[in-house]
Amino acid sequence: MAENVITARDLDLTFQTDDGPVFALSKINLDVAEGEFVSFIGPSGCGKTTLLRAIADLEKSSSGTLTVNGMTPEQARLARAYGYVFQAPALYPWRTVERNVGLPLEIMALDDQAVRIQRNLDLVNLTGFEKKFPWQLSGGMQQRVSIARALAFDPKLLLMDEPFGALDEIVRDKLNQQLLELWDRTGKTVVFVTHSIPEAVFLSSKIVVMSPRPGRIIDVIDSVLPRKRTLDIRETSEFLKIAHRVREGLKAGHSYED
Amino acid sequence: MRIDFAKGSVFPVAVVCLVILVLWYLAAIPMNAIVTQPKIDAAGGGLYNTLLLSWNHERPVLPAPHQVALEVWKTVFMVAPWKVKSLVYHLWITLSSTLVGFILGTLLGVILAIGIVHVGSLEKSLMPWIIASQTIPILAIAPMLIVVLGKTGLPDIFTKASISTYLCFFPVAIGMVKGLRSPDKLQLDLMQTYNASASQVLWKLRFPAAMPFLFASLKVSVAIALTGAIVAELPTGAVSGIGARLLQGSYYGQTLQIWAALFVAAFAAATLVWLLGAFERMSWKRMGVKP
């Protein structure tokens, strides 16, 4: 059995607001093994993004334990253990594509920057766009640049927060396919936040179903689908069975009620 | 058929100039009446005499535009630029202290903004003083500042430039505080995931993001830097510089000299703002701004 990359035990996270406390995460228990592709799925307000941000040390947990690579999230962040892909590409508009991808390399003062930039642009099929500025690219291409940027310093862990949420379904399908190929080739551990059931089932080796008020985990599904998949797999009965279980989990968490 | 004059900027600007010229010529008639009326009457009156005498008096209350143009021509192009009679000479004196003040003020403004953005308590402690500093009439504080600084043995140019600095730092500081805070949350979070240092965030994110704000502020501050330099020349009784020309002109009733100096100063300010605009467009190109 592979080593645990992420371990959460009885994790609580409460935001203090003017309207009183908001229980964003409650009693979260989670294990993510090395090389897994884990999706957090749930409606808005279920804490899936908060959980990802807690793993990234962008939010602090209130109680319980959370370890990333056996360290606290802060130590992991200081050790630059993960690459993070945001909801929006968050590219720096004054930097060309290659300089955006090179940004973490500059900050970490790593060697072979040109080689790394080339390799990662190649990985997201953007060779030839090095000198373009972000506004010259489509939304899908911009998000691929941000993925190349997250991978540029070769972190073992990739955290993705609804990276394709703003894209249309056709582009999204294509990027999902490419992301799976990338995962297969690089063997990275991926934690992926989404609110699309087909996306979660198609991509993941493990699906974490969450529900709001308080944000908690309803179900954890280990996928029986093979590691290598094509979009056609979405027509198979195994796929539909898993999607059904996700939907049942969401229903049990009152996600479909007002 | 509809002709789209509005497309270019030449036509609208020309129309406004024409209107101003017409109003100016018209205004010169009644305003100069106090000195010209006896002469007009002596010449026998009539429209011809009224216009001729109203628009060509030697020491008019309001000189006509062509008189000002002629004075500018004589003092700018017909005199060697190193002579005291040349406006170019006076402009250079004023411009040099303008530029020194502008550069120092910009540096001060940027440094203040960096401090305010990074240290929370500085905003609370400095901001009220920064704003209060601009509510004091510059004409009141300029003489004191210049006298005090004059005693310290600083070179004259810095004494004069201090007024420009005093005026200039404000728009730069305010603009840069806003600019340095302009990066959005995701762009800042990204830096945090890299464990970037504060100086890396400053140079690789905050500063580039603040560039549009910086240029907007610089255009304001370079124009007021020139005003500041002129104001600084008034209380010292300086003998050279645009301010000195204005002062002497008003002592001796030389309205032509005043107007010529005013126009040259305005032209210089416009040129400085235009130059900054050119730098701004160059920076856009380098920073890949969408054309």
pLDDT, tens digit (0-9, with 9 covering 90-100), for A153-199: 888 899 999 988 888 888 888 888 888 888 888 888 999 999 888 89
Least confident span in A98-102, A204-208, B24-28, B137-141: B137-141
Determine the pLDDT at residue B6. Answer: 54
Quick check: A80 and B194 CB within 8 A? yes
pLDDT at B2 over 80: no
Q: Nearest by CB to A78, which of B195, B205, B287?
A: B195
Under the banding of pLDDT at 50, 70 and 90, the label for residue B4 is: low
Chain B residues within 8 A (CB-CB) of chain A?
A: 184, 186-187, 189-196, 200, 204-205, 208-209, 211, 287-290
Residues of A in contact with B200 (CB under 8 A): 107
Residue B235 has pLDDT above 80, yes or no: no
CB-based contacts of B54, cutoff 8 Å, min separation 6? B28, B29, B32, B33, B36, B40, B64
End-to-end Cα distance, chain B? 32
Over 70: is that where the pLDDT of B101 sits? yes
**Whether B196 and A133 lie within 8 Å, measured CB to CB:** no
The pLDDT assigned to A124 comes to 83
Domains of chain B: 5-62 (no CATH), 87-287 (1.10.3720.10)
Contact A82 B193 (CB under 8 A): yes
ipTM: 0.87
Strand A37-41 to A189-194 pairing: parallel
Determine the 3-state secondary structure of B196 from DSSP.
Answer: coil
Contact assignment for A92 to B205 by CB distance below 8 Å: yes
Give the phi and the psi of residue A252 in degrees, each rounded to 5.
-60, -30
Chain A residues interacting with chain B (CB cutoff of 8 angstroms)? 56-58, 77-78, 80, 82-84, 86-88, 90, 92-96, 103-104, 106-108, 133, 135
pLDDT in tens, A92-101: 999 999 999 9
Asked whether residue A1 carries a pLDDT value surpassing 50, the answer given is no
d(CA A15, CA A26): 12
Grade residue B56 by pLDDT with cuts at 50, 70 and 90: confident
Q: Smallest CA–CA separation between B119 and chain A, in Å? A: 21
Q: Chain A residues with CB inside 8 Å of B188's CB?
A: none
Are the C-beta atoms of residues A34 and A18 closer than 8 Å to each other?
no
pLDDT for position A258: 62
Reported as type and span, the H/E element at residue A160 is strand A157-161
Asked if A201 contacts A207 with a C-beta cutoff of 8 angstroms, the reply is yes
pLDDT in tens, B178-187: 999 999 999 9
A82 contacts in chain B (CB < 8 Å):
193
> In Å, how far is A55's CA from the nearest CA of chain B?
11
Q: Let me know: does A66 contact A55? Beta carbons within 8 Å.
A: yes
Q: Which of A78, A92, A104 sits opposite B187 (nearest CB)?
A: A92
pLDDT category of residue B237 using cuts at 50, 70 and 90: low
Chain B positions in Cβ-Cβ contact with residue A87 (cut-off 8 Å) = 186
Mean pLDDT computed over B195-208? 92
- For chain B, what percent of residues have pLDDT higher than 90? 47
**Confidence band (pLDDT; 50, 70, 90) for B3?**
low
How much is the pLDDT for B225? 93
